[in-house]
């Protein structure tokens, strides 16, 4: 299933493949007892005839079986969602390593420099040593830029902080026009160096960290959650936070129960 989310002005997060499932996590956790995956949702057994019914909710407190007749129902037994929640809550994380995902990401180089600090992932990135990078550079939206300047001026965060000066709208517009001109001049110089016969690995010197590149990133589910824990946090730089949220939304499709646990832990 192809799943692509647009991020920033030219970027995206695209799912290449996933492996494993929520039930595979249970299977891995139960290797020690050889019980395997028992199923989602609570079950109830008749004490008289032994009939087992599936309750309509995963919540074992949702009530007993509504079936009429001569049955005498035992207390509902919770399904494997209880074990999944136990594993996550108590940080028994090795079963979560049995699943994973590969993404293709297009992002500015400065975003990748932050992303690559997560050394538990495997990467392969487009190389300007072999091909010219596309002429696409990141430009923040003017109102976002002004708003972040105001927030940064009042922030104790040294990474986001300013010199105490708040950027006004007119100055921001003028600065962004100058930035676009800078990008064009850098591209012209890059093209000229290539035309003059510079090796591609040196012709790229004028390329800014705002230039878009592309990479594939692979990790198991445990390590994707560690990435999301840091990069979805409010303290993370906004650009990489938007990419992390896109990764989360895609993982939620293939690992809904695990990502629900992750969301519940971080929304509280």
Residues forming the active site: 231
Task: Tell me which long-range contacts 109-112 makes (C-beta under 8 A, separation of at least 24).
Answer: 109/207, 109/208, 109/209, 109/210, 109/211, 109/212, 109/213, 110/209, 110/210, 110/239, 111/11, 111/239, 111/240, 111/243, 112/213, 112/215
CB-neighbour burial class of residue 87 (10 A; exposed 0-12, middle 13-18, buried 19+)? buried
DSSP character string of 163-232: SSPPPPHHHHHHHHHHHHHHHHHHHHHHHHHHHTT--HHHHTTT--TTBEEEEEEEEEHHHHHHHHHHHS
């Amino acid at each position: 299933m192809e799943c692509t989310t647009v991020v920033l002005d030219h970027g995206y997060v695209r799912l290449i493949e996933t492996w494993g499932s929520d039930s595979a996590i249970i299977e891995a956790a139960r290797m020690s007892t050889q019980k395997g995956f028992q199923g989602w949702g609570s079950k109830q057994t008749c004490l008289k005839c032994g009939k087992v019914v599936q309750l309509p909710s995963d919540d074992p407190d949702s009530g007993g079986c509504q079936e009429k007749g001569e049955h005498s129902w035992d207390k509902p037994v919770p399904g494997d969602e209880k074990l999944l929640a136990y594993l996550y809550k108590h940080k028994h994380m090795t079963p979560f390593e049995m699943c994973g995902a590969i993404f293709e990401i297009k992002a500015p180089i400065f975003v990748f420099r932050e992303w690559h600090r997560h050394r538990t992932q495997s990467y392969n990135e487009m190389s300007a040593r072999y091909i010219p990078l596309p002429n696409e550079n990141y430009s923040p939206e003017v109102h976002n830029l002004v708003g972040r300047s105001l927030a940064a001026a009042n922030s104790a965060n040294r990474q986001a902080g300013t010199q105490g000066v708040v950027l006004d709208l007119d100055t921001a517009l003028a600065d962004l026009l100058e930035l676009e001109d800078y990008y064009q001049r850098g591209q012209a110089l890059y093209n000229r160096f290539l035309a003059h016969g510079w090796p591609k690995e040196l012709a790229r010197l004028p390329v800014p960290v705002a230039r878009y590149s592309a990479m594939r990133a692979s990790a198991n589910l445990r390590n994707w959650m560690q990435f999301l824990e840091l990069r979805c946090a409010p303290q993370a730089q906004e650009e990489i936070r938007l990419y992390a949220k896109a990764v989360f939304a895609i993982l939620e499709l293939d690992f809904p129960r695990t990502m629900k646990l992750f969301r519940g832990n971080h929304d509280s």
